[in-house]
Amino acid sequence: MRKFSVLALTWVVLFALTGFASAATPDFVDLAARLKPSVVNISTAKKVAAQPNWQGRGEPRDLFEEFFRRFAPNQPQRPRKETSLGSGFIISSDGYILTNDHVVNGADEVTVRLADGRSFEAKIRGADEKLDLALLKIDTGEQLPVAKLGNSEKLQVGEWVMAIGNPFGLEQTVTVGIVSAKGRVIGAGPYDDFIQTDASINPGNSGGPLYNMRGEVVGINTAIIRGGQGIGFALPINAARVTVEQLKETGEVVRGWLGVSIQKVSDELAESFGLDRTRGALIADVVDGSPAADAGIKQGDIILEFDGRDVEEMNDLPRIVASTPVGKTVEVILFRDGREFEVEVKVGKLSEDGSRMHGVSDTEDRLGLSLQPLNDATRERYGLDATAGVVVSAVAPDGPAADSNLRPGDLIVEINGRDIDNLETLREMIKPLKPGSILRLLVQRGESSLYTTVKLK
């Protein structure tokens, strides 16, 4: 009897554990079957100029090419066609499809293959390189299945997610995993805010959807780390919503502009300013004539909240401002002199390439810099003791100098080997140069000097 009781108890425990495992693991089978019809495979082709003089790699394609390679070495090759693969998903029944910009950028031909095997030529209706998004349109003459868009703000770390796409050309591949982290900054662009997942994402998955277990798109699979097993990144769908609507209506994207240069609030800076904890975006400089300047925002202010949205760290502010409608008046909570207070800002318009800063000269705009003369005021503000040079007061986040490692407070003392004594000297030198000219700058930063380059706009 005792033996029977132990055996019965064992079966009860096993049954309970099995039931728990079943409850903890979603039903991927039904979910995948329901979601796959709205996912598409994308193939692109573009003509690439061939290298002359037979400098391409690999074996000749046939005996005729071998002949010409030997006896007619100066003959140019015929243009060749370069192809690539990616993924996407249908966002409206009339044929609008969302994917990554890098999947279709520069393509001469874009073909969309539906889950049922039919293929259609697609037109690129618009693209946003900053967010790596592209909107395609196909005409099928019928209503198409649509992917439902979710709310990526509600996504939680540890939550199950499903990726569907076209990795390595393997159509309609389904992988699952969890949300490993949110808000990842990976250096992909000025508005980095990625979902990290361990769902398998590979080349060809780009542009495909990342679903939650309710069957809603919460992300767009965008990036991987080469050699990084189980590390993939997806753009949150909330970041794409405004862009998608603008691309559908006008084919282009308009972003909000504040006109400030910002930096990270470190623990030490937070303590020195009297903040209760490390948060916000510290204003390193304000562009003259900008919305921020008009609102009374000053150097040394810390922005804690913008239009009702918390600014927990520096990288939050550019994303929030960029997604705010141009012309909208918003409330901004600042921290200054040990207290919080509120100002109103009328959001300006960021230029198409993100580099124009209102209140700067054409020369400065071509550099993507806001510059100030070296005088008593700038010496005191930036702690300089030099007698010649030009002071960098702001760097346009997407302008020509964005990747030059320049920062507010740097002193430009030489360009292409020529001494720069003042703003007039700099402008005289830049004025006759053609767009695309490369400038070599010698910069003084504190007690150190460094070289950098800027490609003129």
Sketch the domain layout of the chain as residue ranges. 35-137, 148-249, 256-349, 362-455
Instruction: Find the catalytic residue in 84, 152, 200, 206.
Output: 206
Domain 35-137 and domain 148-249 have a common topology: yes
Please tell me the predicted confidence (pLDDT) of residue 98: 97
- In the structure, how many helices (H) and strands (E) does the chain have? 11, 28
pLDDT of 159: 96
Report the distance separating Cα 115 and Cα 147, nearest Å: 13
Q: Any idea which architecture 35-137 has in CATH?
A: Beta Barrel (2.40)
Helices (H), 95-236: 101-104
CATH for 148-249 (2.40.10.10, 3.30.1330.80, 3.20.20.70, 3.40.50.2020): 2.40.10.10
Task: Give the active site residue among 38, 43, 87, 102.
Answer: 102
pLDDT at 65: 46
Confirm whether 351 is a catalytic residue: no
Separation of alpha carbons 398 and 188, rounded Å: 12
CA distance 181 to 214: 19
Could you state, in chain order, the average pLDDT of each consecutive group of 10 residues for the chain (457 residues)? 52 50 71 96 83 42 46 59 90 96 92 96 92 94 96 95 94 95 82 90 93 97 76 93 88 89 86 93 86 92 96 91 92 95 93 50 77 82 88 81 88 93 88 90 89 90
- The correct answer on CATH 2.30.42.10 for the domain covering 256-349 is yes
What pLDDT is stored for residue 365 in this prediction?
74
Give pLDDT, residue 154: 94
pTM of the model: 0.67
Q: Tally Cβ neighbours within 10 Å of residue 291.
A: 25
Nearest by Cα to 221 from 181, 178, 163, 159: 163
- Residue count of the chain: 457
DSSP assignment string, 396-456: -TTSTTTTTT--TT-EEEEETTEE--SHHHHHHHHTTPPTT-EEEEEEEETTEEEEEEEE-
**301 in catalytic set:** no
| Residue-level pLDDT at 420 | 93
The one catalytic residue in 43, 87, 128, 132 is: 132
Assign a CATH topology to domain 362-455: Pdz3 Domain (2.30.42)
**pLDDT value at residue 397:** 72
- Annotated catalytic residue 132: yes
Give the pLDDT of residue 56.
40
Helix, strand and coil percent figures for the chain, each rounded to 5: 25, 35, 40
